[in-house]
Structures are given as structure tokens and as C-alpha cells.
Amino acid sequence: MRFSASLLVLLSALAASAQNGTSGAIPSPTDTTTNTITAPGVSTPAPTPTPSASNMPTGGVTASAPSATASTGPIASNIPGLNSSVALNANQVATLQAGCQALQQIYQPLGGSNWIMNTGWTSTDMMSCCSWVGVGCTRVGVVNKLELPYNNLTGSIPDSISSLTSLLKIDFTGNKLSGALPTTLPQLASLKILTLDENQFTGPLPDALTQLVNLTDIHFRNNSFSGGIPTSWLQSSIITTIYLSNNQLSGSLPDFGNSTALVTLYLDGNKFNGSIPTTIGGAIELQTLNLRNNSLTGSIPDTIGNLGNLQSLSLGNNQLTGNIPTSLGNLHGLQTLELTNNQLTGNIPTELGNLANIQRLLLSYNSLYGPIPNVFANFQYVQMLQVNWNQLDSAFPSFSAPPRLAYCRVSQNVFQSCPPDNVLNDPNSFAFQCGLNCNTPPAGANATQSDAVGAKALVGGSYLTYVSALATVAVVALCQL
Ligand SMILES: *[C@@H]1O[C@H](CO)[C@@H](O)[C@H](O)[C@H]1NC(C)=O
Ligand SMILES: *[C@@H]1O[C@H](CO)[C@@H](O)[C@H](O)[C@H]1NC(C)=O
Ligand SMILES: *[C@@H]1O[C@H](CO)[C@@H](O)[C@H](O)[C@H]1NC(C)=O
Ligand SMILES: *[C@@H]1O[C@H](CO)[C@@H](O)[C@H](O)[C@H]1NC(C)=O
Ligand SMILES: *[C@@H]1O[C@H](CO)[C@@H](O)[C@H](O)[C@H]1NC(C)=O
Ligand SMILES: *[C@@H]1O[C@H](CO)[C@@H](O)[C@H](O)[C@H]1NC(C)=O
Ligand SMILES: *[C@@H]1O[C@H](CO)[C@@H](O)[C@H](O)[C@H]1NC(C)=O
Ligand SMILES: *[C@@H]1O[C@H](CO)[C@@H](O)[C@H](O)[C@H]1NC(C)=O
Ligand SMILES: *[C@@H]1O[C@H](CO)[C@@H](O)[C@H](O)[C@H]1NC(C)=O
């Protein structure tokens, strides 16, 4: 009878190993306990302990001997890394052992001996891996998390990672992983969050990741992925969060027509070109859209004004032309609008005054003309307001500074006139807080200068108030009279 044979093997293992308070197991091929947990990479749920597992942990074999059929009842407890009150049945033991073996197989390919932390990973105890550093398990010992950030992992992810079929979360942030992603990745059927930020991965973004029915979060910042972004990622009804900042992605942006799940999209620091598709207006759940620092051309589509959930919109450092769409004024939840360093022209739309929640309004380095709209006085939450390096050419406004203004830049425009002295010298005025300098330049002085910084500056996230006396700034006029 196989059960007895297993028991004998176990007993001899017990005799050969120190009592260590760790776990024991008597996998039984006859165990029929219902178990919804599958055994990754194991075709039979009954691995037989072998004598070569000389440190087969034994201390916690439960007192009550399993019945001959072993159809019910716990048969292993005191598993390292699990709650000591948990006891595993035979199938669960087999699943745990398969998980530990799968982990052991990725250790060497990922340069395990050079990891900063690798506690546990050299153990030959194939039931101990829930206690290995970076490994997470369910209550019953199913390996479901692998979190090894900033740990000096090297090499490429081996295909065998697909044996860890129950993984919900992988976090390899800040390592030196390289090469293309394994083609077996789409076999990690349970995966929800895949975080590979700050590595050296190359190759294309795999279209097939959308086969992962629970994958919601893709974090691939600061790698060297190339090619385009798969349309399927954007059209997925599952994926909510995509971080692809600072890669080598190129080509045009795909169709956003069916991007109804997407909440967060970072594509900044790539080489995308062409125009922003008008279908962007279909990505109605978007809260953050960052297309900064690409090579985008054309105008900002009006349809962005349909993205009623948008909180942050960054389109700076591109080659966008045309006017700022008035429809952006519809984005009442917008906190950040960053259009710096494009080739935008026209007036600053007065509709932007409707951005009741705006905190950062950054329009510097464009070719905007006309006035700073008076409605900007109404911003209750604005902290950063930057319109420097444009062609703003009307009278500088006399309104009071918005109450939370902390960092303001208005220099390098061609304002026609300054507010009267009583406004200029009033510490509560917008002109004063933006450091507007209405002195005329000394003859022959260069017309370039560093930006005047407002009377309050944002330092390290807190507000440091200082007042730079206008008279001490012996620089060129910001205000050409
Ligand atoms: C017992 O556990 C200790 C610490 O957890 C470990 O160093 C040792 O190798 C274990 N001994 C055996 C026989 O597993
Ligand atoms: C272990 O499980 C028991 C029973 O379910 C529970 O009361 C206890 O809080 C758990 N301990 C830990 C550390 O989770
Ligand atoms: C990281 O691993 C490399 C080998 O790949 C090794 O030379 C280096 O010393 C390791 N760095 C740290 C901080 O352990
Ligand atoms: C996906 O998640 C749901 C809900 O948590 C779960 O019921 C289902 O089993 C998961 N699918 C896979 C393939 O893991
Ligand atoms: C990511 O890349 C950007 C651009 O190259 C760089 O400025 C930033 O420091 C990087 N971040 C990390 C955490 O490496
Ligand atoms: C959205 O998906 C449907 C069906 O999958 C397709 O017919 C339609 O063309 C798509 N719309 C856009 C704008 O991509
Ligand atoms: C723009 O992105 C590139 C990577 O594509 C990065 O090296 C550079 O530092 C970024 N520049 C800015 C101003 O963010
Ligand atoms: C975008 O860049 C690719 C090269 O990466 C080039 O072939 C294509 O013509 C460019 N498209 C536009 C619209 O500039
Ligand atoms: C003005 O700037 C130019 C270029 O930076 C420099 O060569 C020149 O000496 C400057 N002239 C004065 C008067 O400062």
C-alpha cells in the first residue's frame, strides 16, 4: 500500500533530520479531498518524498494519523511562512512543493547568489518557500506573490516562470533584468499586477498579455522596450493602469476608441510621433494622461474635453501646434494641466477659468499671445502657475493673487503695461507674487535673464515664504513699457 510506503519514507526522514519545528507532509495518492487549488506544473497531486530530501521537515506532523484512505483531514502543519494553525491536505502540500520547485528554478537564472537579499532561496526544503524573502503565499501555501524590488536581479526572466500559475503579483522594480519578456508570460493566468519598472528589458510589448483575464496593472517604466503599444492593451476591458514612461517606444498612438477601462496612462519619455488621435475622447475613464516628452505633432484634439474624469493632463515637450482647445475648460476635476514647451499659439482660453480644481497650470515655452485671463483670479487651489516664455502681450492683470499661489512664473513675455504702483507693491497682488519687474533694463543689457520667481516658492513640498524686494533685482524688465 503506497500510503504505508510513504509513511515509512517519512519516518526515516524524520529520524535523519533534526527536529526543527518545521513542517512535515504525508502526501497520499489516495487523497480525494476536494481542493480547488491546482498544483502548478504537477500532473499528479501526490509527489512521493524521497530520501534525498534529507532535510524534509518533520516537526509538525499532526498528531492524529490520517486514515488509510486519507480522504479527509489535515496532514501537514507548521509550514514555514504560513500561520502555524494552518494544516494542509495532500493536494495542498503537492501544490506548495511544486511552487517551491518552480521558484528554485528561477533563482539561478536571475543571478540569485548575487541578490542583496536571498534568505531562504538556497533551502532544499521544498515546503519552506512561503518563508523565502520576497515570496508570498495564500493561507494554504499557494505561491501567489513574487516581490523582489531593488535586489540586484540579473539576466532575463526564464520561461519556467510560467510554472508559478497562481501568481497574482510580480514586482521586480529596480533590478538589472534584461532581454525580451518570456513568451510564456501569458500563461500566468492569475496575474493582476506586473511591475518591472527600472530594468533593462528590450524588445516589443507582448500583445498576448491581454490573454491574462485579470491583469489590471502594467508597470514597465524606465526600460528599453521598443516598437509600438499594442492596441489590444488600450482596448482591453480589464487593464486600468499602464505605465510605459521612459522607454524606446515609437510610431503613432493607437486608436483609443474602445479604451473604456483605462484609468491611468503614462507614455511620457518615448518617441511616439504623429498626432494625438481624436478617438482619445473615447477613453472616458481616464484620470491621468501623460504623453509628455514625445515627438507628437498636430493640434490638441477638442475631444480631450470629453474626458470628464481627467485629473492630470500632461502634453509638454512635444511639437504640438494650434490653439489650446476651449473644451479643456470642461475638465472640472483637472488638477494638473501641463502643456509646456510646444508650439501652441492663440490666446489662453478664458474657459480655462472654469478649471475650479486646478493646482498646476503650466503653459510655458509656447507662442501664446493676448492676456492672462482675469478669470485666473478665481482659482481657489492653484499653487503653480507658469506662463513664462510666451508672447503674452496685453496689460498685465491687476487682480489679487489666488489664495494658494506659491510658485509663479510670468517672465519673458511682452506685456504692454504694468499694473499701477499701488498694485505692484501690494504683497497680495498677483503681479507682486509673480515677481513682476517693471523696471526698465539698463541700456545695452541683454534681454535674457533667469526667471523671476514669485514672492513665495515651493520648497520641498512646503511653502517657504520669502519676499524678494523688487528693487534688489537689478535685472531686465519683464514688462516692456
Ligand atoms: C533548522 O532551522 C535552522 C534555522 O531555521 C536552519 O539553519 C537549519 O539548517 C535547519 N536544520 C535542518 C536540519 O533543516
Ligand atoms: C492564525 O490563524 C488563527 C486561526 O485562524 C488566527 O486566529 C490567528 O490570528 C492567525 N495568526 C496570524 C499571525 O495570522
Ligand atoms: C550585483 O550582481 C553583480 C553580478 O551580476 C555583482 O557583481 C554585484 O556585486 C552585485 N551588487 C550588489 C550590490 O550586490
Ligand atoms: C480572476 O479573478 C476572479 C475574481 O477574483 C477569480 O474568480 C478568477 O478565478 C480569476 N481568474 C483567474 C484565471 O485567475
Ligand atoms: C527614469 O528615467 C528618467 C528619464 O531618463 C530619469 O530622469 C529618471 O531618473 C529615471 N528614474 C529612475 C527611478 O531611474
Ligand atoms: C470598438 O470595438 C468595436 C467592436 O469590437 C468595433 O466594431 C469598433 O470599430 C471599435 N471602435 C473603435 C473606435 O475602435
Ligand atoms: C525625455 O525622455 C527621454 C527618454 O526618451 C529622457 O532621456 C529625457 O531625460 C526626457 N526629457 C525630459 C525633459 O523629461
Ligand atoms: C514616425 O516615425 C517613424 C519612424 O519611427 C517614421 O517612419 C514615420 O514616418 C513617422 N511618422 C510621422 C507622422 O512623423
Ligand atoms: C549678451 O549675451 C550674449 C550671449 O549670451 C553675450 O555674448 C554678450 O556678451 C551679452 N552682452 C551683455 C551686454 O551682457
Quickly list DSSP for 416-462. SBPPPHHHHT-TTBHHHHTT---PPPPTT--S--PPP--SEEEETTE
Which residue, judged by its Cα, is nearest atom 5 of ligand 1? 20
With a 6 Å cutoff on the Cβ, whether 301 touches ligand 7 is no
pLDDT on residue 437:
78
70-111 residue pLDDT tens: 445 557 778 899 998 888 999 999 999 999 999 999 999 999
Helix spans in 81-164 (H): 90-107
pLDDT on residue 191:
97
326-340 residue pLDDT tens: 999 999 999 999 999
Ligand 2 pocket at CB < 6 A? 83, 85
With a 6 Å cutoff on the Cβ, whether 250 touches ligand 8 is yes
Segments of the chain with pLDDT less than 50: 1-71, 441-442, 444-481
With a 6 Å cutoff on the Cβ, whether 255 touches ligand 6 is yes
Residues 453 and 472: their CA atoms lie apart, in Å, by 13
> Do residues 162 and 187 touch, judged by C-beta distance below 8 A?
yes
Sheet with 367-370, strands from edge to edge, namely 321-322, 343-347, 367-370, 391-392
Residues 250 and 205: their CA atoms lie apart, in Å, by 12
> Do residues 328 and 305 touch, judged by C-beta distance below 8 A?
yes
Nearest to 379 by CA among 394, 358, 362: 358
Which residue, judged by its Cα, is nearest atom 11 of ligand 6? 257
CB hemisphere CA count around 244 (13 angstroms) = 26
Instruction: Indicate if the alpha-carbon torsion angle 143, 145, 147, 152 is positive or negative.
Output: positive
Residues 468 and 23: their CA atoms lie apart, in Å, by 69
Q: What number does the ligand 6 atom closest to the CA of 258 have?
A: 1
C-alpha cell recorded at residue 41: 506544473
C-alpha cell recorded at residue 177: 533584468
- Which helix (H) or strand (E) is 433 found in, with range? helix 430-433
> Do residues 382 and 353 touch, judged by C-beta distance below 8 A?
no
pLDDT on residue 61:
35
* Among the bound ligands, the one closest to the CA of 192: 4
CA 298 to ligand 5 center in whole angstroms = 27
* Among the bound ligands, the one closest to the CA of 166: 4
* Among the bound ligands, the one closest to the CA of 267: 7
Query: Coil, strand or helix: which one is 338?
Result: strand
> Do residues 247 and 293 touch, judged by C-beta distance below 8 A?
no
> Do residues 304 and 282 touch, judged by C-beta distance below 8 A?
no
Sheet with 154-155, strands from edge to edge, namely 154-155, 176-179, 200-201
CA 101 to ligand 2 center in whole angstroms = 27
Q: What number does the ligand 6 atom closest to the CA of 257 have?
A: 13
Which residue, judged by its Cα, is nearest atom 14 of ligand 1? 55
The label of the residue with cell 481616464 reads 286
CA distances from 25 to 50, 89, 296, 323 (A): 12, 9, 60, 71
Task: Indicate the burial class of 4 (C-beta count within 10 angstroms; 0-12, 13-18, 19 or more).
Answer: exposed
Side chain identity at residue 167, one-letter code? L
> Do residues 458 and 383 touch, judged by C-beta distance below 8 A?
yes
pLDDT on residue 65:
36
Residues 144 and 167: their CA atoms lie apart, in Å, by 4
With a 6 Å cutoff on the Cβ, whether 152 touches ligand 3 is yes
Residues 195 and 186: their CA atoms lie apart, in Å, by 15
CA distances from 369 to 344, 366, 372, 393, 420 (A): 10, 9, 9, 6, 22
Q: What number does the ligand 4 atom closest to the CA of 214 have?
A: 1
pLDDT on residue 74:
55
Report residue 198: phi and psi, to 5°: 55, 55
Task: Indicate the burial class of 176 (C-beta count within 10 angstroms; 0-12, 13-18, 19 or more).
Answer: middle
Report residue 190: phi and psi, to 5°: -95, -5
pLDDT on residue 439:
65
pLDDT on residue 241:
98
* Among the bound ligands, the one closest to the CA of 84: 2
With a 6 Å cutoff on the Cβ, whether 183 touches ligand 4 is no
pLDDT on residue 7:
38
With a 6 Å cutoff on the Cβ, whether 198 touches ligand 5 is yes
Q: What number does the ligand 6 atom closest to the CA of 255 have?
A: 14
Q: What number does the ligand 9 atom closest to the CA of 444 have?
A: 13
C-alpha cell recorded at residue 242: 499602464
Provide CB contacts within 8 A for 410, sequence distance 6+: 372, 387, 388, 392, 396, 434, 435, 436, 452, 478
Which residue, judged by its Cα, is nearest atom 2 of ligand 7? 269
Side chain identity at residue 257, one-letter code? G
CATH class of residue range 99-472: alpha beta
